[in-house]
């Protein structure tokens, strides 16, 4: 009884933010939240649970658990879900725009400058490759600690890494990821989960509509890509598919998009790694990397528009899935079998990212012993230093630029 009274008092003490408050709060986070998805979640907790008290710690954890279970960029999904929980779909959209806008503008502008303005970014590109190597190595270590510590999960991760490197067939990546889910069902044993709180008032009709849009978008884009293989529909279908299959956070988009745009000749490997390295320097979500890719795929002023379209297509499937699953997740997401499959997928993602770290990231970034030392120093600072990760990345960029220029 006392717990129920405390819960009621806790809800009564929390205020619901206005649309303006949601947008401005997330805009500030989009301008200042360096460090990647894990850091973003920490910023969200401080801002909305501790400082503003717009959501309880328990409800925040329930939302975070759901976002980790679904494919997509976990921190952006969490921000969108928080906005929806406060002010419905409008609140979710404003949260997304505020958090994404600063880095989207910067990344699309960088892509436009790289191609349309014919600016010589050669030294910067080489330095960004070193930044990418350190950040992806740090991401692999962090994800291995979270998703591949047990013998069963480590086996799945190693199997995935060997398969990716040995087969060298990037377009098979989605099938390999699903195969890891099957291995999770067979190998991983988990206890039954527990249900979370009910935070959302939108009905199941809206959820069904979101799921229908998700499926229609996937099938429609793949069909158009098949019928019109030489058009932009092929690229959009690949971005939509990548946004559908990304488990484990923004870093995992690297191998999926590398297979979609580099191996198909839409973007050069040098430009791809330059954009991904630049994404590490920016605050906000890593998925704005899609805006950069869209901008370098076309010439002229259309690059700016195409960058925005590609970025939205990359985000869209994860948000539609989130809206579709919200009313049902308490019932189905506690399933032991489903969580075992998701655990297998997450372990496979660790292996996938490790394979891409080896080829092409390390093989193209490290050319001299000095390059290797700089990557090692950057990794050490990211792992054990007390500095803001954004400052570490900026320092690495400056040192790398100087090293490349002297070479």
Does 135 or 160 have the greater pLDDT score? 160
Token pair, residue 279, equals 């994404």
Check: CB of residue 89 under 8 Å from CB of residue 55.
no
Task: Report pLDDT for 9.
Answer: 44
Does 291 or 39 have the greater pLDDT score? 291
Residue 220, judged by CB atoms within 10 A of its CB (0-12, 13-18, 19+), counts as middle
Q: Is residue 333 part of a domain?
A: yes
Q: Is residue 244 part of a domain?
A: yes
Check: CB of residue 268 under 8 Å from CB of residue 384.
no
Q: Any residues with CB less than 8 A from the CB of 266 and at least 6 apart, and which?
A: 235, 260, 297
Q: Is residue 82 part of a domain?
A: no
Q: Is residue 206 part of a domain?
A: yes
Q: Is residue 329 part of a domain?
A: yes
Phi and psi torsions of 313, nearest 5°: -65, -35
Residue 235, judged by CB atoms within 10 A of its CB (0-12, 13-18, 19+), counts as buried
Number of domains composing the chain? 1
Q: Is residue 4 part of a domain?
A: no
pTM of the model: 0.73
Q: Is residue 66 part of a domain?
A: no
Burial code (b: 16+ CB inside 10 Å, e: under 16) for 303-338 equals bbebbbbbbbbbbbbbbbbbbbbbbebbeebeeeeb
CB atoms inside a 10 Å sphere around CB 11? 10
The boundaries of the domain holding residue 388 are: 113-406
CA–CA dist 165, 168 (Å, integer): 5
Convert the pLDDT of each residue in 144-168 to its tens digit. Answer: 887 888 999 999 999 999 998 888 7
* Residue 83 pLDDT level (bands cut at 50, 70, 90): very high
Q: How confident is the model over 2-14, as a mean pLDDT?
A: 46
Instruction: Flag whether pLDDT at 302 surpasses 70.
Output: yes
CA–CA dist 252, 311 (Å, integer): 16
């Amino acid at each position: 009884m006392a717990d129920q009274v405390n819960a009621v008092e806790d809800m009564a003490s929390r205020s619901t933010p206005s649309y303006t408050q949601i947008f401005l709060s997330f805009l500030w986070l989009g301008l200042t939240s360096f460090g990647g998805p894990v850091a973003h979640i920490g910023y969200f907790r401080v801002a909305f649970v501790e400082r503003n008290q717009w959501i309880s710690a328990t409800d925040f954890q329930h939302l975070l658990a759901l976002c980790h279970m679904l494919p997509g960029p976990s921190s952006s999904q969490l921000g969108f879900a928080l906005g929806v929980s406060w002010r419905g779909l409008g609140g979710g959209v404003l949260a997304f725009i505020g958090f994404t806008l600063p880095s989207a503008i910067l990344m699309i502008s960088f892509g436009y400058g790289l191609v349309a303005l014919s600016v010589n970014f050669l030294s910067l590109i080489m330095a960004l490759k070193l930044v990418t190597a350190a950040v992806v190595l740090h991401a692999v270590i962090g994800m291995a600690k979270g998703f591949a510590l047990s013998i069963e999960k480590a086996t799945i991760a190693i199997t995935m890494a060997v398969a990716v490197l040995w087969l060298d067939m990037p377009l098979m990546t989605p099938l390999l990821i699903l195969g890891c889910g099957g291995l999770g069902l067979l190998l991983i044993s988990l206890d039954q989960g527990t249900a979370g709180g009910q935070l959302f008032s939108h009905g199941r009709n809206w959820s069904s509509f979101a799921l229908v849009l998700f499926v229609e978008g996937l099938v429609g884009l793949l069909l158009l890509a098949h019928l019109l293989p030489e058009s932009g529909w092929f690229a959009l279908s690949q971005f939509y598919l990548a946004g559908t299959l990304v488990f484990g956070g923004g870093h995992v988009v690297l191998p999926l998009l590398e297979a979609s745009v580099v191996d198909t000749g839409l973007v050069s490997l040098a430009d791809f790694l330059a954009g991904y390295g630049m994404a590490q320097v920016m605050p906000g979500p890593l998925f704005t990397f899609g805006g950069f890719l869209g901008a370098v795929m076309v010439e002229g002023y259309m690059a700016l528009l195409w960058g925005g379209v590609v970025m939205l297509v990359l985000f869209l499937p994860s948000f539609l899935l989130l809206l579709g699953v919200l009313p049902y997740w308490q019932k189905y997401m506690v399933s032991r079998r489903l969580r075992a499959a998701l655990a297998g997928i997450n372990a496979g993602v660790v292996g996938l990212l490790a394979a891409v770290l080896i080829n092409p990231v390390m093989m193209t970034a490290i050319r001299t012993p000095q390059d290797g030392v700089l990557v090692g120093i950057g990794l050490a600072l990211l792992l054990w230093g007390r500095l803001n990760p954004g400052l570490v990345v900026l320092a690495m960029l400056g040192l790398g630029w100087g090293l490349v220029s002297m070479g």
